C-alpha cells in the first residue's frame, strides 16, 4: 500500500508534466513521420518504417533517463526525499517506487511509436509483441541510468549529463546510421554499449526473426540491465545514507 502510494505520486509527477508528454511521446512520433518522409525521397534501409520504429522507440528511452533523474534530483534538492526517508518506508518501497512508474510510460512510448509505424505501413505481427522482450529491458536500463544521475548529480548536472547520454544513444545505437558501414571505433563503441544490440535485435524480431535467434544480443542487454539497476540502487543508498 505504501509502495503504491509513493509510486502513484511519482507517476502523477511524470504524467502531469506536459514536457514529459511532449518530449517522451510526441517527439518519437514526430521523428517517425519525419524520417519516413525522408526515406520516401531517399530510400535507405534504416529509414524504412519497419526498421525505423524500433530504433526510434529505443532512442526515445533516452528521455526516460532525463525524467527519472530529474524526478529524483528534484525530490533530493527540495528535501521531499528527506520527508520520505523519515517515514516508515522500506528500502524496496523506495527503489520500486522510483522504477515502476516509468515502465507504463515506456510502454506508452513504444505504443506511440508502433501506432505511428502501423499508420505509415509497418506490418503488425507477432514479432511486434516479441520486440517488447527487448525494448522493455532497454527502458529499464535507462531508468537505472536515470537513478544513478539523479542520486549523484545536481539538477544542472543532470540536464547536462542526460543530454550527453541522449546524444551517445543517438550516435552509437545505429538508429540513424548503419554502424557496420561506418565501422572503426564507432562500430566498436556502439557494440560495447547495449543500444546497438537492442536496435539490431528488435529490428530483426519485428521483421520476423525468432527471439532465440537474437539471444546473444538479449544476454548483452540483460547484463547491462543488471549492472545499471544495481548501480542505480547503490548510488541511491550511498547518497541517502550520507
Partner 1 sequence: MSGMDIDKKLAVRTEGLTKQFGKNRLAVDNLDLDIKKGEIFSLLGPNGAGKTTTIKMLCCLLKPTGGTARIMGLDILKNPAKIKQIINVSPQETAVAPHLSVLENLVLVGQIYGLSGREAKRRAYRLIELMSLNERLRDPANKLSGGLLRRLSIAMALISDPKVLFLDEPTLGLDPKSRKTLWSLIRYLRGKKTVLLTTHYLEEADALADRIAIIDQGRLVALGTSEELKRQLGGMQVMTVKADSLSPAAMKNLKKIYPQTAIADSHLIIKAEKLDFNKVVDLLRGEGVKINWLSMKEPTLDEIYLKITGRSRDNEII
User: Which positions touch partner 1 (CB under 8 A)?
Assistant: 1-2, 5-6, 8-9, 12-13, 16-17, 74, 77-80, 82-89
Q: At which residue does the C-alpha cell 520504429 appear?
A: 53
- Residue 58 CA to chain centroid, in angstroms? 6
Nearest approach, Cβ of 1 to partner 1 (angstroms)?
A: 7
Query: Closest distance between partner 1 and the C-beta of residue 71, in Å?
Result: 10
Q: Are 235 and 149 in contact (CB under 8 A)?
A: no
In whole angstroms, the minimum distance from the beta carbon of 20 to partner 1 comes to 10
3-state SS track over 3-47: HHHHHHHHHHHHHCCHHHHHHHHHHHHHHHHHHHHHHHHCCCHHH
Identity of the residue, 82 or 92, whose beta carbon is nearer to partner 1 in the bound complex: 82
Reduce the DSSP state of residue 87 to 3 states and report it.
coil
Spatial distance between the Cα atoms of 84 and 146, rounded to a whole number of angstroms:
19
| Closer CB to partner 1, 207 or 240, in the complex | 240
Minimum gap (Å) between residue 21 Cβ and partner 1: 12
Amino acid at each position: 500500500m505504501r509502495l503504491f502510494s509513493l509510486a502513484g505520486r511519482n507517476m502523477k509527477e511524470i504524467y502531469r508534466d506536459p514536457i514529459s508528454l511532449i518530449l517522451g511521446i510526441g517527439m518519437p512520433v514526430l521523428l517517425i513521420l519525419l524520417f519516413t518522409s525522408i526515406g520516401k525521397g531517399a530510400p535507405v534501409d534504416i529509414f524504412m518504417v519497419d526498421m525505423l520504429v524500433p530504433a526510434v522507440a529505443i532512442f526515445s528511452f533516452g528521455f526516460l533517463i532525463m525524467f527519472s533523474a530529474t524526478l529524483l534530483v528534484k525530490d533530493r534538492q527540495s528535501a521531499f526525499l528527506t520527508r520520505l526517508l523519515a517515514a516508515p518506508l522500506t528500502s524496496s518501497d523506495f527503489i520500486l517506487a522510483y522504477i515502476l512508474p516509468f515502465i507504463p510510460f515506456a510502454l506508452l512510448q513504444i505504443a506511440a511509436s508502433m501506432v505511428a509505424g502501423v499508420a505509415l505501413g509497418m506490418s503488425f505481427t507477432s514479432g511486434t509483441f516479441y520486440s517488447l522482450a527487448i525494448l522493455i529491458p532497454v527502458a529499464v536500463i535507462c531508468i537505472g541510468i536515470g537513478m544513478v544521475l539523479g542520486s549523484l548529480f545536481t539538477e544542472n548536472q543532470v540536464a547536462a549529463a542526460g543530454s550527453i547520454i541522449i546524444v551517445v544513444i543517438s550516435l552509437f545505437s545505429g538508429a540513424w546510421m548503419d554502424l557496420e558501414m561506418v565501422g572503426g571505433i564507432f562500430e566498436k563503441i556502439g557494440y560495447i554499449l547495449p543500444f546497438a544490440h537492442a536496435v539490431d535485435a528488435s529490428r530483426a524480431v519485428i521483421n520476423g526473426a525468432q527471439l532465440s535467434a537474437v539471444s546473444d544480443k538479449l544476454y548483452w542487454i540483460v547484463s547491462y540491465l543488471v549492472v545499471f539497476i544495481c548501480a542505480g540502487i547503490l548510488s541511491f543508498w550511498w547518497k541517502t545514507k550520507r
